[in-house]
A and B are shown apart, each in its own frame.
Chain A
Amino acid sequence: MKFTINKEVFELAVDVRTSLLDLLRERLHLTGTKKGCDQGACGACTVLVDGERINSCLALAVQYEGRSIVTVEGLGTASALHPLQHAFIEHDGFQCGYCTPGQICSAIGMAGELARGVPSVVTDDLTLETIELSHDELRERMSGNLCRCGAHNGIVEAVRETFAEKANP
């Protein structure tokens, strides 16, 4: 089976039971993506598929053959960080760092949803064409990513600086 991960094509045989998360970590040694709960409750395993964020722990790898998968390794390098990675450092958006790759992939997917005008449960007017990334919108949209260190305030600040200020100068 052929998988496109961070623009690189990998060809390998995959057991039906293998989750996309295990494929990334155990077969391809892309260990940036983390296994937290392994049941869709924590968001540590969040990756982008064709630009959309998903929980890779609940995804069977076989379903994602031929799709374009991006993990935290595909977003930036140590010498050329993604702007959101830089903002996480600036705003202390982590302590232990375990949830960070999922937070970052999730926030990038979230920004794409916002750009497409996808509403959230706290959006007052569902008919709006464009939705501003307010504090409440940001927190609601990032609720699928837990941080047990309690770095949420820094995370919110990093995401706001990267996406809300750019969208609403």
Chain B
Amino acid sequence: MNHMTYARAGNSAEAIRLAGERPQSKYLGGGTNLVDLMRENIEAPLSLIDVTALSSEIVAREDGGLMLGAAATNTAVAADRTVRQRFPVLARAILAGASGQIRNMATVGGNILQRTRCYYFYDDAARCNKRTPGAGCDAIEGFNRIHAILGASPSCVATHPSDMCVALAALDAVVHIDGPRGTRTIKLVDFHRLPGGHPEVETELAPDELVTAVELPLLPSGMRSTYLKVRDRASYAFALVSVAAAIDVAQDGAIREVRLALGGVAPKPWRALAAEGVLKGLPACEESFRTAAEAELKDAVGLRDNSFKIELAKRTIVHTLCSLTESARA
């Protein structure tokens, strides 16, 4: 690690001012990803601006939505009574990620901005276009069992590692941003970029901008939601495939509304719009779910070691939707 300065910001205006004054600065949340990356010399900021004292409030809004302060810890969000009642998919996604210790440290803002766990990104002896633009990618023809089957490019096949973001994608979450040019909002599904020719640019956030909150719009009361994660061991591992789902089934058994997002399969939290489009109006049954899963994975491309994810993703979608709709009938 190189030498760096440290300052603790009391509010977002102060954080943004400090970032403007200090070249090559980085905002620091719980540190669970950034500290590791600095130790590996993948991130080398000259200055850290600690933003954990910024808003960590979780505030229920009158319209049924919820605002999560960016500094709220993952544990605080998952334990929040309103989150557990109205947005179980989010509580379950967070609890499926990391360990108790890490969830106590990690923040909402940091979780959104965490970087891929691609082995080649972490190994500075390997070629990585994300770490060194134009260097090449050793994952594409390397050991790529954990890599992407959707949305990848010839320059990068890394996946986004977050569980929380998969739920946020399904929930139509909105990211609130502050910066020297003022405040703005962007939908979570538009926040992360696909790699294309520039995998080093991962989000729409400018370097001097700060994530201040995440807004969850009301999830219609008829919608049941959950999160299912498939991984190499029962706990404390990143997803091979995960599914965040919310569904509302009418009295006659037809699907009134459905939201679906996938994790572990793409460079960003993957909102499954093709599947959603197929499902609307169909009877809530295994056959419909399978048809929708086929539609979503139609363009999936397997690499040497990860083609199993294509069928695994389909089956995980079907299983998740079956369990949500069966428990509704029970």
- Size category of the binding interface on chain B: 35 or more
Contact of B104 among A43, A52, A140 (CB under 8 A): A52
Contacts of A139 in B (CB 8 A): 235
Judge whether A43 and B99 touch: CB under 8 Å. yes
Q: Does A30 interact with chain B (Cβ within 8 Å)?
A: no
B91 near A119: Cβ-Cβ < 8 Å = yes
Residue in contact with B105 in the complex, picked from A58, A106, A143, CB distance below 8 Å: A58
Cβ of A60 and Cβ of B28 under 8 Å apart? yes
Query: Once bound together, how far apart are the Cα atoms of A97 and B322, in whole Å?
Result: 45
Query: Does chain A have a CB within 8 A of B75?
Result: yes
Alpha-carbon gap, A38 to B1, bound state (A): 14
Q: Are B236 and A53 in contact (CB under 8 A)?
A: no
Q: Decide yes or no whether A117 CB sits under 8 A from chain B.
A: yes
- B36 adjacent to A55 (CB under 8 Å): no
A residues in contact with B4, CB < 8 Å: 16-17
Judge if A35 is at the interface, Cβ distance under 8 Å.
Answer: no
**Minimum Cβ distance to chain A for residue B218 (Å):** 18
Query: Within the assembled complex, what's the spacing in Å between the Cα atoms of A121 and B227?
Result: 10
Are A117 and B32 interface neighbours, CB within 8 A?
A: no
Nearest chain A residue, comparing its CB with the CB of B92:
A121
Among residues 24 to 74 in chain B, which have CB atoms less than 8 Å away from a CB atom of chain A? 28, 30-32, 35-36, 38-39, 48, 50, 52
Chain B residues with CB below 8 A from A53, complex form: 100-101, 104
8 Å CB contacts to B: which residues of A79-133?
106, 109-110, 113, 116-121, 123, 126-127
B101 near A39 (CB under 8 angstroms)? no
A59 near B31 (CB under 8 angstroms)? yes
A139–B1 CA distance with the chains assembled, in angstroms: 35
Q: Shortest Cβ distance from A39 into chain B, in angstroms?
A: 5
- Residues in A with CB closer than 8 Å to B213 are none
A121 to B163, CA, bound (A): 12
Q: Residue on B with the closest CB to A17?
A: B1
Using known A-B contacts A58-B31, A59-B31, A119-B95, determine if residue A43 contacts B79 with beta carbons closer than 8 Å. Answer: no
Main secondary structure of the interface of A (DSSP, over half): loop
Contact, CB under 8 Å: B99 / A19: no
| Residues in B whose Cβ lies below 8 Å from that of A141 | 100
CB within 8 Å of A: which of B180-221? none
Q: Chain A contacts of B236 at CB under 8 A?
A: 143-144
Q: Is the CB of B95 within 8 A of A120?
A: yes
How far is A19 from B32 in the complex, measured between Cα atoms in Å? 12
Provide the residues of chain A in CB contact with B269, threshold 8 Å. Answer: none
Residues of A in contact, count (CB < 8 Å):
38
Cβ contacts B256-281/A at 8 Å (1 or 0 each) = 00000000000000000000000000
> How far, in angstroms, from A127 to B28 measured CA to CA in the complex?
33
| CB of B88 within 8 Å of the partner chain | yes
State which of B36, B50, B88, B98 has its C-beta within 8 Å of the C-beta of A63: B50
B294 to chain A, nearest CB (A): 29
A121 & B35 in contact (Cβ 8 Å cutoff): no
B5 within 8 A of A: yes
B85–A127 touching, CB < 8 Å: yes
- Docked CA distance A53–B229 (Å): 24
Q: B101 near A117 (CB under 8 angstroms)?
A: no
Are B92 and A126 closer than 8 Å at their CB atoms?
Answer: yes
Asked if A40 is at the interface of the complex by the 8 Å CB criterion, the answer is yes
Contact of A40 among B6, B96, B102, B235 (CB under 8 A): B102
Give the residues in chain A near B105, CB-CB below 8 Å.
54-55, 58-59
Known: A144-B99, A144-B101. A39 touches B79 (CB 8 A): no
**Are B78 and A119 interface neighbours, CB within 8 A?**
yes
Q: A60-B35, A121-B92, A143-B236 are in contact. Are A126 and B100 (CB under 8 A)?
A: no
A126–B83 alpha-carbon span in the complex (Å): 10
A162 contacts B by Cβ under 8 Å: no
* Residues A144 and B79 in contact, CB atoms below 8 Å apart: no
Asked if B78 and A55 sit within 8 Å, CB to CB, the answer is no
28 residue pairs A–B, Cβ–Cβ below 8 Å:
A15-B3, A19-B35, A40-B99, A46-B101, A54-B104, A54-B105, A55-B99, A55-B105, A58-B31, A58-B35, A58-B102, A59-B31, A60-B6, A60-B35, A63-B28, A106-B100, A106-B101, A119-B84, A121-B92, A121-B229, A126-B85, A126-B88, A126-B91, A140-B234, A140-B235, A142-B100, A144-B100, A145-B99
- Ranked 5 nearest A-B pairs via Cβ: A144-B99, A143-B235, A121-B95, A126-B84, A143-B236
